[in-house]
Amino acid sequence: MTYHTHAACEEPFVKYRRFGTLDWKVSALGFGAMRLPVIGGDRGKIDEAEALKMVRYAFDHGVNYIDTAYPYHAGSSERFVGRALKDGYHEKVKLATKMPMRLVNSREDLDRIFNEQLDKLQTDHIDFYLFHGVNRDRWQKIMDVNALDWAEREMASGRIGLLGFSFHDTYEVFEEVLDGYDGWTFCQIQYNYVDAESSHRTPGTRGLKYVASKGLAIVVMEGIQGGNLAVTPPEEIQAIWNEAETHRTPAEWALQWLWNQPEISVVLSGMSTMNQVIENVESANRSEPHNLPAEELSLISRVRSKIFEHGFIGCTGCQYCQPCPQDVAIPDILALYNEYYTKRDDSSTQQEIKNKYSTSITPERGAGLCVQCGECEDKCPQQLPIRNLLARAARSLE
């Protein structure tokens, strides 16, 4: 298979890895179409001109896997991806999208949504199809509506190529889903050097090893933890990175840690700028299994420990983001959300933090009042994705 059919490509060119037991190799880097550039801060209005340049650059430099889903960008991601795969690109790039099980209550819903997806994507088949965001409740729903039988029917018709699922729950539920159906080809999990331990959100390294033992392909999402592992770190964390002979950005440390593991097939990145695409393609060009020496793996382990000690978000409380035009108490909220996040495996402590939030942050200064103007991000010396963090804080704490 060649990838030079359009523009002449210069190095770097991404490397390839096995995809389970398939006689096909996937690019180490996959394009996640969930964080595309948008217009005016509106997630439903993709900046299609810029996004198309980014996606086609990735394709022309060897990326051969693109991942989207029914709800991404308020439903507009699939339409954009369908246009991006025109001009012969779908012949060389595999398409993955997902059935939104939270919206499914019957077999009729499966048919209706899937037909809508084919129309939006302007295709007659989906190469890799996933049940989206599977957890214990959604796995039960898959059973209740007999969705596996539906998927097998669509695979027999050729409208679905291969079947998998994306997952957000404990290792125990993960094992139940994997063992509950013999037709899985791949699965998609949240995995990064901070989320390596099994928790209520991810099966962790234990799950990764179990998938590999079954011969399935592993697609990694949130490898940079929604961008949180790419921000400028506090000085004590940067000091650890500086000990390495090979200097890397925080984002590349996260990616190379993933690519170091031979069980992983492809790492998705939800890239928002052309610079991110270029940097990630260059990083994928340097990727290899078992590429990081023990000394560097030790550094990553130390950084992980320091992150949990210091706090995951990396806000230093410098107050540069103040005053907020909406009077949102940004530093105080981020401090509480940081504490909440780092205690994510301790539900009782999380509840205490939520109670603390409700008493210390007045409704007039709450995270939910953020209007996404971005003024705080322009001022932040740590380059934190404050708007995203406030949205997550509002969902978790309010």
Q: For residue 124, what pLDDT band results from cuts at 50, 70 and 90?
A: very high
Query: Rounded mean pLDDT of 144-161?
Result: 98
- Verify that 75 and 161 share a domain, yes or no: yes
Rounded distance, CA 207 to CA 198, Å?
A: 8
Rounded distance, CA 224 to CA 35, Å?
A: 13
- Give tens-digit pLDDT for 239-258: 999 999 999 999 999 999 99
- Verify that 180 and 199 share a domain, yes or no: yes
Q: Among all chains, which residue has been given the structure tokens 């051969």?
A: 64
Pair 209, 185: CB distance under 8 Å = no
CB atoms within 10 A of CB 298: 13
pLDDT of residue 85: 98
| Within-domain flag for 295 | yes
Domain of residue 322: give its range: 311-397
- Asked if the model's pLDDT at residue 69 lies above 50, the reply is yes
- Verify that 201 and 223 share a domain, yes or no: yes
- Verify that 293 and 329 share a domain, yes or no: no
N-terminal to C-terminal alpha carbon distance within the chain: 51
The larger pLDDT score, comparing residue 164 to residue 389, is at: 164
- Verify that 298 and 383 share a domain, yes or no: no
Query: Which helix (H) or strand (E) segment is 267 a member of?
Result: strand 266-269
Last residue of a domain, one of 277, 303, 329: 303
Rounded distance, CA 304 to CA 194, Å?
A: 6
- Verify that 259 and 350 share a domain, yes or no: no
- Verify that 177 and 265 share a domain, yes or no: yes
| Within-domain flag for 178 | yes
For residue 138, what is the domain's CATH number?
3.20.20.100
CB atoms within 10 A of CB 230: 21
Last residue of a domain, one of 270, 303, 336: 303
Rounded distance, CA 71 to CA 114, Å?
A: 13
Distances in Å between the Cα of 251 and the Cα atoms of 38, 191, 226, 386 are 22, 14, 11, 17
Please give the DSSP secondary-structure letter assigned to residue 94.
E
Query: Rounded mean pLDDT of 341-351?
Result: 76
- Verify that 170 and 283 share a domain, yes or no: yes
Say if strands 16-18 and 25-27 run parallel, antiparallel, or are unpaired: antiparallel
pLDDT of residue 207: 97
| Within-domain flag for 11 | no
Last residue of a domain, one of 268, 286, 303: 303
∠ at Cα 335 (330, 340), nearest 5°? 120
pLDDT of residue 327: 94
- Verify that 334 and 376 share a domain, yes or no: yes
Check whether the bond before 37 is cis (ω within 30° of 0): no
- 3-state SS string over 10-48? CCCCCCEEECCCCCCEEECEEEECCCCCEECCEEEEECH
Indicate the number of domains in the chain.
Answer: 2
pLDDT of residue 4: 34
| Within-domain flag for 297 | yes
| Within-domain flag for 190 | yes
Backbone φ and ψ for 150, nearest 5 degrees, come out as -60, -45
Out of 35-49, 86-100, 258-272, 330-344, pick the least confident: 330-344
| Within-domain flag for 386 | yes
* pTM of the complete model: 0.82
pLDDT of residue 1: 32
- Verify that 280 and 360 share a domain, yes or no: no
- Asked if the model's pLDDT at residue 9 lies above 60, the reply is no
Residue 206 burial (C-beta neighbours within 10 Å; 0-12, 13-18, 19+): middle
- Verify that 167 and 255 share a domain, yes or no: yes
Query: Which helix (H) or strand (E) segment is 179 a member of?
Result: helix 171-179
Backbone φ and ψ for 275, nearest 5 degrees, come out as -60, -40
**Strand, coil or helix: 274:** helix
- Verify that 135 and 257 share a domain, yes or no: yes
pLDDT of residue 201: 73
Please give the DSSP secondary-structure letter assigned to residue 323.
S
Angle between helix 386-397 and 347-360 (nearest 10)? 100
Total residues found in the chain within this entry:
398
**What rounded mean pLDDT belongs to the chain?**
91
